[in-house]
Structure 1
Amino acid sequence: MKKLLPYAIFLTFLISVFVGQISASAEGTLVIQKLVEDATIYAEPSADSVEVDQIAKGSYVTATNVSQGWTYIQTHQLEGYVETAALVNVKSEGYLVVQKGGTALFTYPSQNAQKVGQVYENRVIFVYGTAPGGWSFVQYGQDTGYVATNSLKKPIATTKRVNAVNGAVLRLTASPNGEELGTLANKTIVQQYSTLAGWAYVETDTQKGYINASELTDLQKLGNKVYNKGVPVVKGENKRVALTFDDGPNAKVTPQILAILKKHNAKATFFMVGPNVSNNSAIVKQVYKEGHEIGNHTWNHSKLTTLSKTNVKQEVDRTSNATYAAIGQYPTVFRPPYGATNDQVRSVITMPTILWSIDTLDWKHRNADKILAYIKTSVKDGSIILMHDIHQTTADGLENVILYLQKQGYEFVTVSEILQ
């Protein structure tokens, strides 16, 4: 039987709830966890305090971590402390509401439960898990609850670019009054999942939310053309270069290069060969998660102009499939080994073919200082710089390259970005 809370404890309890709500609101997101076992909710973080109620295994809760093995939780009807060991973190996935007129949000997975609110059609909501009977536990803005699973659909992403000189304000909900989550810088590449009443739901590698749809523009369709330089920027904007690395990933050198790029907030493109992708999948994932672009550099590093069309396709497809197995995405650009391409090769390549405008010859001289010397003599706005992330000397010379180019006013972008 539920025990009544003494007034003093109850007051303390309400204050902690209020503080927790402020914290969640300030962060712009809720921390959702799931019960992995039945648990008792206590008024204070102690098994000696008043028992508030019981909560069943499989329940989803809003959680705030507390010290010494206790977590403060909230549901629509209950709140208090449970032992942290009874909880597990759950990840969310974005889903699109496809039911005409939207779908109701309930406190429990039942049509007879209390309604929390309504989530309208074409909104993107976050699904944390499912419950028996065709229900999903979801979050939209600061609201959580259960919706009918058949009212949802996994959305398809479209790649867009932010087109707003002062950046686009990212909001928690599709409304000018929605909580501000930050600003997406001009020219940021995003994945757009839906548009509703002038608002677009977008995601980057680190941020997600709604922006004004008018602040997005389509990316140019590059097709399978051959490129050896990027597009110069308009007057007044920062000059750009694309750092590219071939033949990796390498278990020793590539992580060093990634650390240097991260230190200087620089993005790059890695043209990977198939066996190294398969043997270093964790590094491939790191490259992708840190916002760099992954390109296809064939499986055997063969000179493609000497192969049949069938063998060219096999060389490219094997590496594309290995990349998909590692990160769930196919390579976006292609670089032929030795720069060897012709009409026959291009006829089976669907990605843009990327050559280079500066060859540092790092593979030949293996001298860290010479890398920068080659770049100094030729670099200009839109340069695509060729290096290799399989040589220690390349990693040794990279920081000086970045520092020099930054001092000259360059920013570092991926190949796909520099072609736009």
Structure 2
Amino acid sequence: MKPSKPMRTLWLTASALFLFCLLRSGAAPSAADVLPVSGTVPQKLVALTFDDGPRRSTTTALLDGLAQRGVKATFFLIGRQIPGNEDLIRRMDAEGHQIGIHTYDHTILTGLNEADFQAQVEVTRTLLTQLLGHNGFLLRPPYGMVDDGVKAMAGAPIILWSVDPEDWREQGADLVSQHLISQAKDGDILLLHDIFPGSVEAALETVDALMDQGFYFVTVEELFSLRHISLENGCVYRCAYP
């Protein structure tokens, strides 16, 4: 049941305050921190994901907007864009967002030999591990293209998506957000790109609208964990429908 507007406002305010305290203490919030105080798992969970970043101007604006709303997302990063944006990536990690690999320079992974595959995936994984001090990064192949070789060499769960508004077409924020809002359902993985100003605007519009409809935003890892689905290396996941 969707909480009443006063109760929802109270919960969001409390959540934002709790998130602020966690960030001040240097601790990242867990899945339980984004759920209602009762601890029950909501029936409307979605994972908001972003590809192709980071880009300083747009990714910063997105992180600011998500922080204001107490929302966490998952960012699949391009390795060559890590140098010079280390502070942004550390901020993502500190604020409880999940970080994944989107290859080193947006290269299609299908058909690659092991050396070329590792140059795209393992190099990016190493950069992120050295920067953040931990591992376990999910993989999203560019264009969602996967073959047996990608599955065998991934070294991580492969995360695709279930709702794609094709924001790269630069259709305008309203059209992108309308697509997401009309299509989103419990267990979906939403795809956007944080390198476009319009996509950032659409993402925040979508968050506001779906939260009003009773949706809760979690990272990809949290989405599957809360639905009791184990992510396995080399397996492809598009959604976490109950």
TM-score of the alignment, normalized to the shorter chain, above 0.5? yes
Q: Paired residue for 2:28?
A: 205
* Rounded Cα–Cα distance in structure 2 between residues aligned with 1:237 and 1:256: 28
Structure 1 unaligned regions, length at least 5: 1-202, 208-215, 217-234
**Residue of structure 2 aligned with 1:411, choices 216, 235, 238:** 216
Q: Paired residue for 1:266?
A: 71
The yes-or-no answer on 1:309 pairing with 2:150 is: no
**Residue of structure 2 aligned with 1:396, choices 198, 201, 215:** 201
What residue identity is the alignment partner of 1:375?
L
Q: Paired residue for 1:381?
A: 186
Q: CA deviation at 1:376?
A: 2.6
- Note the 1:206-245 alignment, pairs <5 A: 237-245=42-50
Normalised by the size of structure 2, how large is the TM-score? 0.75
Q: CA deviation at 1:366?
A: 4.2
What residue identity is the alignment partner of 1:324?
T
Q: 1:328 to 1:366 in 2, by over 3 A?
A: farther
Contact 1:300–1:315 under 8 Å retained in 2: yes
What residue identity is the alignment partner of 2:194?
D
Contact 2:100–2:137 under 8 Å retained in 1: yes
* Rounded Cα–Cα distance in structure 1 between residues aligned with 2:136 and 2:59: 18
Normalised by the size of structure 1, how large is the TM-score? 0.44
**Residue of structure 2 aligned with 1:292, choices 84, 93, 97:** 97
What SS does structure 2 have at the residue aligned with 1:381? coil
The yes-or-no answer on 1:333 pairing with 2:138 is: yes
Contact 2:29–2:95 under 8 Å retained in 1: no
Contact 1:294–1:331 under 8 Å retained in 2: no
Q: Paired residue for 2:5?
A: none
Contact 2:49–2:74 under 8 Å retained in 1: yes
Q: Paired residue for 2:126?
A: 321
The yes-or-no answer on 1:281 pairing with 2:86 is: yes
* Rounded Cα–Cα distance in structure 1 between residues aligned with 2:147 and 2:84: 30
Q: Paired residue for 1:350?
A: 155
Q: Paired residue for 1:121?
A: none
Q: CA deviation at 1:309?
A: 2.5
Q: CA deviation at 1:312?
A: 1.1
* Rounded Cα–Cα distance in structure 2 between residues aligned with 1:331 and 1:390: 24
Larger-Rg structure? 1
Partner deviation per Cα, 1:18-75 (whole Å, 9 max, x = no partner) = xxxxxxxxxxxxxxxxxxxxxxxxxxxxxxxxxxxxxxxxxxxxxxxxxxxxxxxxxx
May I ask how many residue pairs the two structures share in their alignment? 192
Partner deviation per Cα, 1:66-89 (whole Å, 9 max, x = no partner) = xxxxxxxxxxxxxxxxxxxxxxxx
* Rounded Cα–Cα distance in structure 2 between residues aligned with 1:206 and 1:386: 23
Contact 2:75–2:98 under 8 Å retained in 1: yes
Q: 1:372 to 1:262 in 2, by over 3 A?
A: same
Q: Paired residue for 2:52?
A: 247
* Rounded Cα–Cα distance in structure 2 between residues aligned with 1:278 and 1:331: 20
What residue identity is the alignment partner of 1:327?
L
Q: CA deviation at 1:204?
A: 4.8
| Structure number with higher helix proportion | 2
* Rounded Cα–Cα distance in structure 2 between residues aligned with 1:253 and 1:236: 32
What residue identity is the alignment partner of 2:141?
P
| Structure number with higher strand proportion | 1
Contact 1:241–1:383 under 8 Å retained in 2: yes
Q: Paired residue for 1:152?
A: none
Task: Between 260-269 and 367-376, report the one with greater CA deviation.
Answer: 367-376
Q: 1:334 to 1:380 in 2, by over 3 A?
A: same
Q: CA deviation at 1:394?
A: 1.0
Point out which structure has higher relative CO (alpha carbons under 8 A, 6+ apart). Answer: 2
Q: 1:295 to 1:331 in 2, by over 3 A?
A: farther
Q: Paired residue for 1:154?
A: none
Contact 1:366–1:391 under 8 Å retained in 2: no
Q: Paired residue for 1:362?
A: 167
Give the share of equivalent positions with the same residue, in percent: 35
Q: CA deviation at 1:379?
A: 0.9
What residue identity is the alignment partner of 2:84?
N
- Note the 1:106-145 alignment, pairs <5 A: none
Q: CA deviation at 1:322?
A: 1.1
* Rounded Cα–Cα distance in structure 2 between residues aligned with 1:327 and 1:357: 29
What SS does structure 2 have at the residue aligned with 1:247? strand
Q: CA deviation at 1:408?
A: 1.1
